[in-house]
Structure 1
Amino acid sequence: MLVLALPDTIAFDLATPIEVLGRARLASGRPGYQVQICGSEPVIDAGPLRLAVDHGLDALSHADTIIVPGRNDPAAAVPASALDALRAAAATGTRIASICVGAFTLAATGLLDGRQATTHWAAADQFRSAFPAVSLNPEVLYIDAGQFITSAGATAGVDMCLHLVRRDHGAAVAADASRLAVAPLHRDGGQAQYIGRPNAPTTGAGLDTVLAWIETHAHEKITLATLADRARLSARTLNRRFREQTGQTPMQRVTAARVRRAQELLQTTDLGIDHIAHLAGFASPAHFRTQFKRLSGVAPHAYRNTFRPPPPATAR
């Protein structure tokens, strides 16, 4: 397995496969992977670091898997030699995975055209503009499309690497690797990266007050008429302005706020799922489960198991 280091590579992305995959051990004790670094240049800048690499791009032709980390400037031109080497490796069936905005490098080869891919949610618009032929889904942690796997930022790269271990060597080896990484064994790739909480409202046109009110009152019984009254607009006008200025309907905004509240309760309390559904403002537990999974990508119970911090160790 080779990790491709390009100029201005993100050090965290580069280290993730080295640490997660490089420490995976089979039942016999043998390493699950031989992880090596190759670079487009003998010395690579990685943010504040300078790395001397032992292998050049010619090593990619011998790899069974290639990991492509992100770069601090994902829009920077990729060395043509690196693009050619990735295309040549792909033509022989080599598996290629990207971490974070490493998807920009992989997409620059044309290998993702017509395929589904993901990247860091904050770079989604930039990615779509640069690579319109790629079917981007920025709302998930990673996408396994067979030969090509793409993941979102930071810890989603850990999730993807553990997914590769599980795919290659089974759940038991992946469980050991997750314990070494002190990471959840399995966060589903379809789980949402982030359900954004608006910062200061900036829509103007009289909606600022309504948006702020939704964030603090979403748990209450709210109807479209309630919001229209607060905005001093007709329901039809409110719907139109919401769509124009937020891309959502008013009630979609309410539902997203309720899901965020439920996420907080799942992480910070021991309350039952049905009770949380009520406290977050949902009409029924069934409706809560449906909307929670639609927006976050996983069921409430799975979300709690993944994101709830472990209980503190008891003193002896």
Structure 2
Amino acid sequence: MKHVTILIPEGETSLSNIEATYKMFNKVNEALTASGKKPLFTVQLAGLNKETSLTNGLFSVKAGLTIKDVDATNLIIIPAVHGDVNKVLTDNRELIPWLTRQYGQGAEIVSLCIGAFILASTGLLNGKVCTTHWLMADEFRSMFPEVNLQAYKIITDEAGIYTSGGAYSSLNLILYLVEKFAGREMALLSSKVFEIDIERSSQSPFIIFKGQKEHHDEVIKKTQIFIENHYHEKITVDQLASIFAISRRHLERRFKKATSNTVLEYVQRVRIEAAKMSLESLRENVNEVMYKTGYTDPKAFRTIFRKITGLSPLEYRSRYNKAINAA
């Protein structure tokens, strides 16, 4: 029997994370029992208090247990907690030593969406890969530079620590755990019951690129603005260095430090974001969008587009263009 503890942190905790996780593990138990097998999971809720108020008192969760009541467990689920990150971490600082101790005793730990901030604050993610909601990626990198954040991923799994991407992609991680602990057949059944795409592996199609200007290097900000205004033209690093009177080496170094992207990567991200917007809202064909966003080689355009979004331009257009889907 695998002992699962769903944490109820203080703050605006995601009710959907809590309920969906609880239901999915218990539905597996029901399916196993119906087939004459023993249930696999014991699922409990535990918080800093036995009852936690959420959403300014609109909802409350009765955990029934506090973390002090849980001496040992096998799997810990940390749901997303919304609001000011620093306040969330301060309000939940008592979770940190408990999580660290449980991991040291052999427990595996799961963070859902921005629950990764609580997990990262333990230090257990240092040197490991993780993911979180793409909207919070820059803040996460700033707070936890020693963690290898891969914000485009839906799921990461390393050394008994699992993380999921944004919002309802948490369901994909729970399904992944069902497959890991209960087998592929049970995961397929769960995917059908809960209508979850079992093969989904990336949140790249959903990422909206915003130009990473939360830094104080004014020269780099001007460079970014130039790229965003001239992305449809040919842009080289030497050209940018000349315009802003800085050596190529210093431009590349400062640009990477400020934005976490190389200059070339930034140009590509800006161009592909413009291409995504055109493919979503216009009736232009893929080649027209390609030329409009500064590309001339169809193969290169398709390769870069897929690398950033996880889809081909045609697949993206078919999925997200309302006019086409309504036709």
After TM superposition, the score normalised by the length of structure 2 is 0.69
Q: Deviations over 1:276-302 (max 9, x none)?
A: 756755333432343234323x35289
Q: Does structure 2 retain, via aligned residues, the 8 Å contact 1:40–1:56?
A: yes
Verify: 1:46 aligned to 2:57, yes or no. Answer: no
Alignment of 1:82-231 (within 5 A): 82-188=95-201, 191=204, 194-198=207-211, 210-214=226-230, 222-224=234-236
C-alpha displacement of 1:305: 11
Change in CA separation of 1:98 and 1:209 when aligned onto 2, cut-off 3 Å: closer
Q: Deviations over 1:214-245 (max 9, x none)?
A: 4xxx5x563449x87xxxx7487697779857
Following the alignment from structure 1 to structure 2, what is the Cα–Cα distance between the partners of residues 282 and 159?
Answer: 35
C-alpha displacement of 1:68: 0.8
Q: Does structure 2 retain, via aligned residues, the 8 Å contact 1:141–1:156?
A: yes
Q: Give SS of 1:113's match.
A: coil
Q: Deviations over 1:36-58 (max 9, x none)?
A: 21122111122342222122325
Q: Deviations over 1:239-289 (max 9, x none)?
A: 777985774566544422332345457767999988875675533343234
Following the alignment from structure 1 to structure 2, what is the Cα–Cα distance between the partners of residues 193 and 94?
Answer: 32
Moved more, 41-50 or 114-123: 114-123
Following the alignment from structure 1 to structure 2, what is the Cα–Cα distance between the partners of residues 295 and 90?
Answer: 34
Q: Partner letter of residue 48 of structure 2?
A: S
Structure-1 residue corresponding to 2:13: 10
Q: Does structure 2 retain, via aligned residues, the 8 Å contact 1:119–1:138?
A: yes
Q: Does structure 2 retain, via aligned residues, the 8 Å contact 1:120–1:153?
A: yes
Q: Deviations over 1:130-167 (max 9, x none)?
A: 44443333343332114001223312322222222232
| % identity of equivalent residues | 21
**Structure 2: unaligned runs, 5 residues or longer:** none
Structure-1 residue corresponding to 2:80: 70
C-alpha displacement of 1:182: 3.5
C-alpha displacement of 1:97: 0.2
Change in CA separation of 1:266 and 1:54 when aligned onto 2, cut-off 3 Å: farther
Following the alignment from structure 1 to structure 2, what is the Cα–Cα distance between the partners of residues 302 and 170?
Answer: 35
Following the alignment from structure 1 to structure 2, what is the Cα–Cα distance between the partners of residues 27 and 285?
Answer: 51
Q: Does structure 1 retain, via aligned residues, the 8 Å contact 2:172–2:200?
A: yes
Following the alignment from structure 2 to structure 1, what is the Cα–Cα distance between the partners of residues 293 and 141?
Answer: 34
Change in CA separation of 1:301 and 1:211 when aligned onto 2, cut-off 3 Å: closer
Q: Does structure 2 retain, via aligned residues, the 8 Å contact 1:39–1:55?
A: yes
Q: Give SS of 2:163's match.
A: strand
Structure-1 residue corresponding to 2:295: 282
Q: Give SS of 2:102's match.
A: helix
Q: Does structure 2 retain, via aligned residues, the 8 Å contact 1:43–1:50?
A: yes
**Structure 1: unaligned runs, 5 residues or longer:** none
Q: Partner letter of residue 80 of structure 2?
A: G
Q: Does structure 1 retain, via aligned residues, the 8 Å contact 2:286–2:314?
A: no
Q: Does structure 2 retain, via aligned residues, the 8 Å contact 1:61–1:88?
A: no
Q: More helix per residue: 1 or 2?
A: 2
Following the alignment from structure 1 to structure 2, what is the Cα–Cα distance between the partners of residues 19 and 2?
Answer: 13
